[in-house]
């Protein structure tokens, strides 16, 4: 199967051996970050540094003129990726014989929420999630669609992978995060992800719901959860907490909002891209799920994009709904964490990849070649060599 490794530009820029080392893994492609959220990242082999702190969500290239005069616009990176760091890294990787595809993070931006708080998701208690832009708001949607087109179609790129192209919720790898004291479960996490900004309130009204009554119902449904009652059970759990009719109306609003954004973003990328440019989404086959792997309807998204990248580190079962909906040459890429310290199993990659193939995967993704230890990379190299 065709295999791609994720990298950040700072893994490559300033390290003359990085591109060749990546190629030696046996991958054909690199998925290189062009727009990324804030992070603190290890660089265990870089000759000049060991830790990179990306202080805010940024584009890792000079943003274009399209943003002139716009209040909502992408932020340029600081000294962690100055100038055209993406372009410099992409050129080095291409010189090593690797295809380069862009990696674009969209609806996940804490600085946007801090500087423009009205863009953020607001939960039923009135708390804002600054890391989570509300994808229902017209100005935010315009930002995300234009950012997708610009960041995806960088010079020389042969395709893109769009991450966080959907709703983001409470769950977030945040600095000093202390939100796991109560087990919310799948249903409780969904209720805590519901947005009550003015646009979403109007949207609920369009579905026949009173937004104030809905917020009160969410708070009432969650009250036993805060006292330790379980809230698992997936979507039936949501229906139990809110009632089937109310749950269906909420889902219709949120699923429809995410679908139209995904359609618009993919169309904008294709309009800007050359012939043969591939557009993939990081996706979860359960449409009400939130986060970096956006919840989608498999049949719908595979009619819109060229394929999906599916999280498989905890098991490859999420591939099955996409495989059942696939038609033609759609890409179904199984994404495995290869960093042992982040829960990955690089030594088991060959077996895991075989299982993913049996479930319909036709490509692999390796997260993340820049973060992995030498031992992890050696295990990956052996697994890919074995086939």
Q: What percent of the chain has pLDDT over 70?
A: 99
What is the distance in angstroms between the CA of the first residue and the CA of the last residue of the chain?
9
Angle of helix 234-242 versus helix 185-193 axis, rounded to 10 = 60
Q: What is the mean pLDDT of the chain?
A: 96
pLDDT for position 129: 97
pLDDT for position 284: 98
Q: What percent of the chain has pLDDT over 90?
A: 93
pLDDT for position 287: 97
Query: Do residues 74 and 67 lie in contact, with contact meaning Cβ atoms separated by under 8 Å?
Result: yes
2-179+280-386: CATH topology is: TIM Barrel (3.20.20)
pLDDT for position 115: 98
What is the per-residue pLDDT across 45-78, written as a single tens digit (0 to 9) for each? 999 999 999 999 999 999 999 999 999 999 999 9
The three-class DSSP label of residue 36 is: strand
pLDDT over threshold 80, residue 323: yes
Range of weakest confidence among 170-184, 210-224, 363-377:
170-184
The per-residue b/e assignment along 115-131, b for 16 or more CB within 10 angstroms, e otherwise, is ebeebbbbbbeeebbbb
CA distances from 360 to 60, 150, 191, 192, 251 (A): 34, 31, 32, 33, 28
CA distances from 31 to 122, 280, 309, 364 (A): 32, 11, 11, 11
Q: How far apart are CA 147 and CA 379, in angstroms?
A: 36
pLDDT over threshold 70, residue 176: no
The three-class DSSP label of residue 270 is: helix
Distance of CA 1 to the CA centre of its chain: 22
Query: Do residues 33 and 10 lie in contact, with contact meaning Cβ atoms separated by under 8 Å?
Result: no
Closest to 253 (Cα-Cα) out of 167, 360, 377? 167
Average of per-residue pLDDT across 20-38: 98
pLDDT over threshold 90, residue 374: yes
Range of weakest confidence among 161-175, 272-286, 364-378:
161-175
Query: Do residues 131 and 125 lie in contact, with contact meaning Cβ atoms separated by under 8 Å?
Result: no
Q: How far apart are CA 98 and CA 5, in angstroms?
A: 10
259: left (phi over 0), alpha (psi -120 to 50) or beta: alpha
Confidence category of residue 178, pLDDT binned at 50, 70, 90: low
Please give the backbone phi and psi of residue 274, each rounded to the nearest 5 degrees, phi first: -75, 170
What is the per-residue pLDDT across 224-280, written as a single tens digit (0 to 9) for each? 988 888 877 899 999 999 999 999 999 999 999 999 999 999 999 999 999 999 999
pLDDT for position 179: 67
What is the per-residue pLDDT across 106-150, written as a single tens digit (0 to 9) for each? 999 999 999 999 999 999 999 999 999 999 999 999 999 999 999
């Amino acid at each position: 199967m065709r295999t791609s490794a994720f990298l950040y530009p700072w893994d490559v820029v300033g390290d003359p051996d990085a591109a060749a080392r990546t190629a030696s893994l046996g991958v054909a492609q690199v998925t290189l970050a062009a727009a990324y959220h804030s992070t603190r990242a290890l660089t265990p082999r870089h000759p000049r540094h060991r830790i990179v702190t990306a202080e805010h969500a940024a584009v890792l290239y000079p943003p274009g003129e399209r943003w002139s005069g716009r209040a909502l616009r992408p932020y340029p990176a600081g000294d962690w990726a100055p100038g055209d760091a993406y372009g410099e890294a992409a050129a080095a990787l291409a010189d090593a014989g690797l295809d380069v595809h862009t990696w674009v993070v969209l609806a996940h931006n804490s600085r946007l929420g801090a500087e423009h708080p009205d863009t953020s998701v607001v939960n039923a208690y009135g708390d804002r999630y600054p890391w989570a832009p509300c994808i229902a708001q017209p100005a935010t949607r315009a930002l995300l669609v234009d950012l997708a087109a610009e960041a995806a179609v960088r010079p020389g790129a042969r395709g893109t992978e769009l991450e966080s192209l959907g709703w983001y919720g409470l769950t977030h790898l945040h600095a000093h995060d202390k939100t796991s004291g109560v087990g919310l479960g799948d249903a409780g996490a969904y209720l805590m992800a519901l947005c009550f900004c003015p646009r979403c309130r109007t949207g609920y009204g369009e579905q026949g719901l009173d937004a104030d009554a809905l917020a009160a119902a969410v708070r009432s449904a969650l009250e036993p959860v805060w006292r330790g009652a379980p809230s698992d059970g997936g979507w039936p759990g949501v229906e139990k907490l809110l009632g089937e009719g109310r749950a269906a109306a909420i889902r219709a609003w949120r699923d429809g909002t995410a679908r139209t954004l995904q359609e618009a973003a993919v169309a904008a990328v294709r309009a800007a891209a050359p012939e043969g440019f591939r557009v993939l989404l990081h996706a979860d086959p359960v449409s009400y799920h939130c986060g970096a792997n956006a919840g989608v309807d498999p049949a719908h998204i595979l009619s819109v994009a060229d394929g999906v990248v599916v999280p498989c580190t905890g098991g490859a079962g999420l591939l099955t709904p996409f495989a059942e909906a696939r038609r033609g040459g759609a890409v179904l890429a199984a994404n495995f964490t290869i960093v042992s310290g982040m829960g990955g199993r690089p030594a088991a990659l060959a077996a895991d990849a075989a299982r993913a193939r049996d479930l319909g995967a036709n490509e692999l993704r390796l997260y993340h070649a820049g973060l992995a230890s030498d031992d992890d990379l050696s295990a990956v190299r052996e697994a890919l060599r074995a086939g």
